[in-house]
Amino acid sequence: MLTPETVLKRFQIGRNLYLLGTFETGLTIYNQQVRALNLVWAMINAASARSLRRIAIVGGGFAGITAAAGLLHKGAQHVSLFEKRAALCPLQEGSDTRWVHPRIYDWPDEDSNSPTAALPLMNWNAGRASDVVVEILREWERLVRPLQSSASQTRINVYVNVKHLRLYEGLNVEWVGEKSNFRSPARNSGTKQQFDSVILAVGFGLELNPPSYWRNETLGQPQLDLGRRTYLVSGHGDGALVDLFRIRIVRFRQDRILVDLFENNATLLHSLRELKKRYNAGATLPETLYDEFEALAGDTNSGFNKLLPALRMRLRADTAAILQMSDNVDSFRKVFASPASFQNRFLLFALYRAGGVIPTSKRDVDQICSEYGIAKTDVIRRHGTDRVEAVKDVLDKSLWRDCKNRVDALRAHSHQPSLILWTGGYWHQRSDKLHGRPLLQDVRKDRWRLEHLPPATEVLATGFVAAVAGFIAALGSAGGDFRVTLHRALYVGSEVTLQQASQYDGNTVRLGSAGRTFGFNHGTIGYAAVRRKVVRTRPRNVNESDDQYAQTLRLDMQTLELTAHSQSMAPTVRSILAVPILTPNGKHTMAVLYADSTRLNAFNDKCASTICCMCESFAAKVGQIHFDRVRNFPISPPPRVPRIASKLDADLEVIRTIETPRAPSASNANYLNLEFTDFIVAGD
């Protein structure tokens, strides 16, 4: 278990000075955002309150603005963000030829096709890099604009066009740049200020061989002149391989090509998942990965022979490609020890077996171009960046000497976590440590602990809840004040939560926002989820007054720790029903339908039985949803799902589990996670 103190040390290069992600592998936008939020989480939980008063963030890319957003959401009072170029997220701004996807580099993991980052803030969906920037900056503006008003106590200063910035001893920053404000024109200024903490989100530096990977080009478009055009691609990291695939594969896109090639090839997909598990566990070494792929290709039952014809059908007829191996790689099999993603290395192997690429170990580019008739303009060099220089560029010489040993250690063995460490709803709870005074009053809990809720999931849940509410209203047993909603099981890091998947429906003014998360073993919904049985309030005893019944119900709610994650129950509520919807094996809860009413015995046997039947029918359809652009995407649980203690029936007086009707179960779905995609998703 990673503690905040342990995590903080993995980012620290000096006293209250942190380096974010520069020397990591897995350099995706999503991974960098998670690292940024993990760093902020660790700072809030492990650093001193004094060190969090004034915070500077150097770098206005995805990681930098995500770290700033995390601090602001938690209540930081003074944050300054510095970006050396004229706009935030400058590399990806306007990049229309690069497709980014939050999880595709995790392929072939089961949930790698899910098209959304599913982050509680600064969230985005798979798309062109330029569109992702628009999505991120729109949310950034919604967050920052109110904070830049004169009435706000929070100070967020954003500086762009920072042509000079130096950080020196004592966390003093001197800079020349333009102060950007949504409410006034940018103003140029040169000044100095001391900060209590500094986050270096400087990225990885620009590429050694321009133009940048993010500049627009036409590699993926068919040639307009006649004949075949030959390219030389130098390098074998992810950037080089993506360019190679765009040159050689028709309509290449990282997510689409994998779905297309693996349609109806579940055998090969399963074998690759098992191979990746062994690789991640260290049982398969990088230098033997080519041999593992060869073994799959040689196995007539693996499905590889089914893949090759499909890939050959996608090879472009207007291009050819030579892959130049690096200086220390003298055979093609050694290319597979590179730090490129598992996905791209397998696709390179398949492309090689399909005859789609010619590797060369020759070092003389002119000789290669002459031999294959390659124009100088068709040489693509992807040799990475100088990451050390990106850090040195902002530190003065004295501070660089003080930090160099730690920077070298991170360069040799950096392991800043990109798995979620925060708990459900963490970013929508203000931190007393940052703000200086308690903010979490019970009245605020109708809009807190929010996590990403896919719109398609909310649409489906809202429709189902409306149908249940309509039935309850028609039956008449719940009276004039009742409400219904649906919660889904959601993993946030290693935590299991229940997320409200729709607003309340029914005849009531007692509302709450969709997207809120609750502890899996808190309240009535948690009780039903853990016990995996229908939960209902018992009828009032003959000799029991209404006040006694209400008081006993409130005591039950205290036992279930309802107010730990939600508002106190309305004192007028007298009836509760919670119906867990189980996974096909019955061992886990996929969702919980919840209803309450101010009338006694509102959810009688007829009402409860009918609602359970409705839940059963709903659950049966969830796994069948596979429309052109909507799919129930997998949610992978953490490696070890924590055991959740349940309350005993004996502890409760009014709220009881019932044996009949039995909890409904899905026929073929283990999760409720409908997402929209931008293209037709093939079947598994």
The rounded distance, in Å, linking the Cα atoms of 523 and 654 is: 13
Other C-beta atoms closer than 10 Å to the C-beta of 547 total 8
Q: Are 33 and 121 in contact (CB under 8 A)?
A: no
3-state SS, one letter per residue, for 392-443? HCCECHHHHHHHHHHHHHHHHCCCCCCCCCCCCCHHHCCCHHHHCCCCCCHH
Best CATH choice for the domain 442-676 from the list 3.30.450.40, 3.40.50.2300, 3.20.20.70, 3.40.50.1000: 3.30.450.40
Q: How far apart are CA 249 and CA 255, in angstroms?
A: 13
Strands (E), 235-360: 319-324, 358-360
- The per-residue pLDDT for 679 is 64
Q: What is the mean pLDDT of residues 267-293?
A: 90
pLDDT digits (tens, 9 = 90+) for 19-69: 999 999 877 999 999 999 999 999 999 999 999 999 999 999 999 999 999
pLDDT above 80: residue 184: no
Helix boundaries (H) for 439-534: 455-475, 523-531
Per-residue pLDDT band for 445 (boundaries 50, 70, 90) equals: low
Report whether 657 contacts 571 (CB < 8 A).
no
Beta carbons of 343 and 269 less than 8 angstroms apart: no
Secondary structure class of 238 (helix, strand, coil): helix
Which of these, 353, 98, 374, 115, lies nearest to 242 by C-alpha position? 98
Confidence class of residue 613 from pLDDT cuts 50, 70 and 90? very high
Cα(43)–Cα(39) distance, integer angstroms: 6
Q: What is the mean pLDDT of residues 142-160?
A: 87
Q: Lowest mean pLDDT of 24-28, 132-136, 235-239, name the range.
A: 24-28
Q: What's the confidence (pLDDT) of residue 509? A: 83
Order across the sheet with 172-181: list the strands: 12-14, 17-19, 197-200, 55-58, 78-82, 155-168, 172-181, 184-194
* Angstrom distance (rounded) from CA 571 to CA 255: 51
> Tokens 């903490």 label which residue?
197
Cα–Cα distance measured from residue 35 to residue 15, given in angstroms and rounded to the nearest whole number:
19
Find the Cα–Cα–Cα–Cα dihedral 374, 379, 383, 386, rounded to 10°: 140
Residues in a beta bridge with 174: 166, 192
pLDDT band at residue 648 under the 50/70/90 scheme:
low
Asked if residues 496 and 520 have their Cβ atoms less than 8 Å apart, the reply is yes
Asked which of 17-21, 251-255, 434-438, 640-644 is least confident by mean pLDDT, the reply is: 640-644
- The residue ranking higher by pLDDT, 639 or 294, is 294
Which among 349, 347, 341 is positioned nearest to 276, based on CA atoms? 341
Give CA 267 to chain center in angstroms: 28
Q: Quick one: CA dihedral 515, 516, 521, 524, positive or negative? A: negative
Tokens standing for residue 429 = 């709870």
| Tokens representing residue 462 in the block | 């809202």
Residue 72: Cβ-neighbour burial (10 angstroms; 0-12, 13-18, 19+): buried
With 90 as the cut, is the pLDDT of residue 446 above it?
Answer: no
Taking the C-alpha atoms of residue 615 and residue 582, their distance in angstroms, rounded to an integer, is 10
Mean pLDDT of 204-226: 87
Among residues 77, 79, 78, 58, the alpha carbon closest in space to that of 68 is found at 79
Does the pLDDT value for residue 642 go beyond 70? no
130, 89 Cβ separation under 8 angstroms: no
Whether residue 212 contacts residue 206, with contact meaning beta carbons closer than 8 Å, is answered with yes
pLDDT-derived band at 433, boundaries 50, 70, 90: confident
* Averaged pLDDT for residues 656-673: 93
> Average of pLDDT values for 222-238?
91
Going by C-alpha positions, the residue among 74, 8, 37 that lies closest to residue 440 is 74
pLDDT of residue 644: 58
Where, residue-wise, is CATH 3.30.450.40 in the chain?
442-676
Where is mean pLDDT largest: 224-228, 402-406, 435-439, 646-650? 402-406
pTM > 0.85: yes or no: yes
- For the CA atoms of 117, 121, 124, 130, what is the dihedral angle to 10 degrees? -140
Can you give the pLDDT at residue 440? Answer: 47
Q: What is the mean pLDDT of residues 93-104?
A: 93
Residues 219 and 246 sit within 8 Å (Cβ to Cβ): yes
Q: What is the pLDDT of residue 182?
A: 73
Where is 172: in which H helix or E strand?
Answer: strand 172-181
CA 179 – CA 532 distance, rounded (Å)? 56
What are residue 29's phi and psi, to 5 degrees? -60, -45
- Block residue for tokens 């055998």: 267
Give the three-state DSSP class for 224. coil
DSSP track, 657-671: EESSSPPPB-SS-S-
Token reading at 627: 């429309």
Whether the predicted pLDDT of 220 surpasses 60 = yes
| pLDDT above 60: residue 442 | no
Give the per-residue pLDDT at 684. 44
Which backbone phi and psi does 575 adopt, to 5 degrees? -135, 140
Instruction: Provide the token pair at 16.
Output: 């209250």
Q: Are 75 and 124 in contact (CB under 8 A)?
A: no
Residues 205 and 385: beta-carbon distance below 8 Å: yes
User: Per-residue pLDDT tens for 282-328?
Assistant: 888 888 999 999 999 999 999 999 999 999 999 999 999 999 988 78
Give 189's strand partners. Answer: 177
Q: Which two tokens stand for residue 497?
A: 């939560």
Residue pLDDT, tens place only, 349-405: 999 999 999 999 999 999 999 999 999 999 999 988 889 999 999 999 999 999 999
Q: What is the pLDDT of residue 378?
A: 95
Residue 663 pLDDT greater than 70, yes or no = yes
Nearest in space to 53 (alpha carbons), one of 433, 439, 438: 433
- Mean pLDDT rounded to a whole number for the chain: 90
* Nearest CA-CA partner of 321 in 288, 357, 375: 357
Residue 507 has a pLDDT of: 87
Distance CA 211, CA 213 (A): 7
CA of 500: how far to CAs of 174, 203, 342, 503, 522, in Å? 47, 36, 35, 7, 13
> How is residue 100 annotated by DSSP?
E
- Beta bridge partner(s), residue 499: 488, 517
Asked if residues 420 and 451 have their Cβ atoms less than 8 Å apart, the reply is: no
